[in-house]
Homo-oligomer: A and B are copies of this chain.
Amino acid sequence: MRIGELASSTGVSVRALRYYEEQGLLASTRSNGGQRHYGDAAADRVHLIQMLYAAGLSSRTILDLLPCVDAKVSTPQSRALLNAERARIDEQITRLVQARDRLDAVIAHSQSSASGCTTADAAAVAA
């Protein structure tokens, strides 16, 4: 499949895919004319990359991490790397939960002091 198809099937922009390749995160074979071709596994790889980006990892960190994911072998270094990143994600989750709790407190106060709590409000809360 070519880059446009991979882009639309993954929901990632063509530019981003080229950027991933530039960063060494995503490989491609080239046609005679130089156009990128991808196998079926590429979509999964892109999803994984996206997920790690969403977890706040930098492309550099992902670059370090991906060989650990690909490799069937495991080194102390790779395990350490994986665990370190896991810990960082954990920490981020903790901070997010704290922030959410803080917002919840504000919301609770906001609603208790709301004299007229209409149906629209209930809908907003449910959403």
The chain A residues found within 8 Å of chain B, CB to CB, are 48, 51-52, 54-56, 64, 67-69, 71-87, 89-90, 92-93, 95-100, 102-104, 106-107, 110-111, 113-118, 120-122, 124-127
Q: List 9 A-B contacts (CB under 8 A).
A: A54-B92, A64-B125, A71-B121, A74-B117, A79-B107, A79-B110, A81-B125, A86-B103, A96-B96
Residues of B within 8 A of A77 (CB): 122, 125-126
Tell me the bound Cα distance from A116 to B55 in angstroms.
30
Tell me the bound Cα distance from A72 to B112 in angstroms.
10
Tell me the bound Cα distance from A77 to B121 in angstroms.
9
Give the oligomeric copy count. Answer: 2
> With A93-B97, A96-B96 as given contacts, are A67 and B113 in contact (CB-CB < 8 Å)?
no
> With A51-B98, A55-B100, A80-B124 as given contacts, are A106 and B69 in contact (CB-CB < 8 Å)?
yes
Tell me the bound Cα distance from A98 to B67 in angstroms.
20
Closest 8 CB pairs of A and B: A55-B99, A74-B110, A74-B114, A77-B125, A54-B95, A89-B100, A80-B124, A78-B125
